[in-house]
Amino acid sequence: MTKSRIFFYGVLIMAVLVGIIIAMHSIQMDEETAVAKEARTTEEKRGARERVIGVALASGDSEYLVRLDKYIKEAAEEKRVKVELHYADWNAELQQEQLKEMIDQEVDAIILCPINSKSMLGSVKAAKKAGIPVINLNMKLDQVSTEYIDTYVGASMSEEGALAAELLMDLLGEAGGKVGIIEGAPGSDPAIYRTEAFYDVVKLQPEIEVVGITCGQWNREKSYLAAYDLIRMNDDLDVIYCHDSNMALGAYEAMVDLGKENQIRLIGIGEDEEYIQALKDHKISGIVTQSAEYEGKYSVYCAVRAMEGEELRPWYKTPIQILTEDNVDEFVQ
């Protein structure tokens, strides 16, 4: 083979290689352009559509959660976001299914008030994997589940229980007396810690006796029945401590029907106009405050900030205090 022919073939091979390289580069550029275009289109769609917050509340049977519903909607209107709200009727499987639907719908954020502290681990893990921020509201998830949420908005249930015990001791004085407890939904964070922390304080007072613990399920009518049974079984009862003020009003109706409204005093948790008025009217002797407006609205504010990429604190704590007849007129909601 002559040198000229060798040179010719060398040039030909080089040209082919250069052509292959150019073609491959062109294909890669086309692929990168397509990916970038798709990403831009997805981002444009997200920016164009209305932002949606999925809200999962434990039950509409709870007056407090119904008030949270109201304030969540008010804040959503203020922030110009849409809320899709679901109640789970104290059914953990139903709430898990509701969260699955929210994740499948690709909502922008989730606000979760769980049935109980341990039932939602799989759901919050799935939301985290899908890149959907989760705001845990009012009823705190357990320690393992909190790894997969963005923040908790709510009060310290332990502090509320301890303050309720202080209020009880002030009401009974040195003589002490007998107290019954009406709890909320079994297994929920408030039901556990509002009793546990209360009892931790009271058990150090030998003159105070806890004579019964029953369940009112956060419902006024069910609390009426629970209080009725407590009173009939303990004719000399001095105080009923209710896990929320709505249940306290149910207990008050039972006291009236049994002629015990002048004997038994009531402690509740949570302030609202109706409960503040009940305190002024001497139906309730003391309240540990907890603001549904703060929790409902702040959960939305946190959800909006999270969907915009802001980092949140682990806990946005609801302010609480003791209210009695002596300081209720100074209280500003």
Q: Residue 332: its pLDDT value, please?
A: 78
Name the average pLDDT for the chain. Answer: 90
User: What confidence tens digit (pLDDT) does each residue in 238-272 have?
Assistant: 999 999 999 999 999 999 999 999 999 999 999 99
Q: Are 264 and 212 in contact (CB under 8 A)?
A: no
Q: Residue 269: its pLDDT value, please?
A: 97
- H helix intervals, the chain: 3-48, 63-79, 92-104, 121-129, 157-172, 189-202, 220-233, 245-257, 273-280, 292-307
pTM of this structure: 0.83
User: What confidence tens digit (pLDDT) does each residue in 114-128 have?
Assistant: 999 999 999 999 999
Q: Residue 35: its pLDDT value, please?
A: 44
Class of the CATH domain delimited by 157-289: alpha beta
User: What confidence tens digit (pLDDT) does each residue in 44-77 have?
Assistant: 444 557 999 999 999 999 999 999 999 999 999 9
User: What confidence tens digit (pLDDT) does each residue in 172-182 have?
Assistant: 999 999 999 99
Residue closest to 316 by CA, chosen among 307, 308, 305? 305
Distance CA 76, CA 83 (A): 7
Domains 50-154+293-318 and 157-289 share a fold: yes
CA 199 to the chain's CA centroid? 24
Q: Which fold has domain 50-154+293-318?
A: Rossmann fold (3.40.50)
Structural domain boundaries of the chain? 50-154+293-318, 157-289
Residue type, 283: K
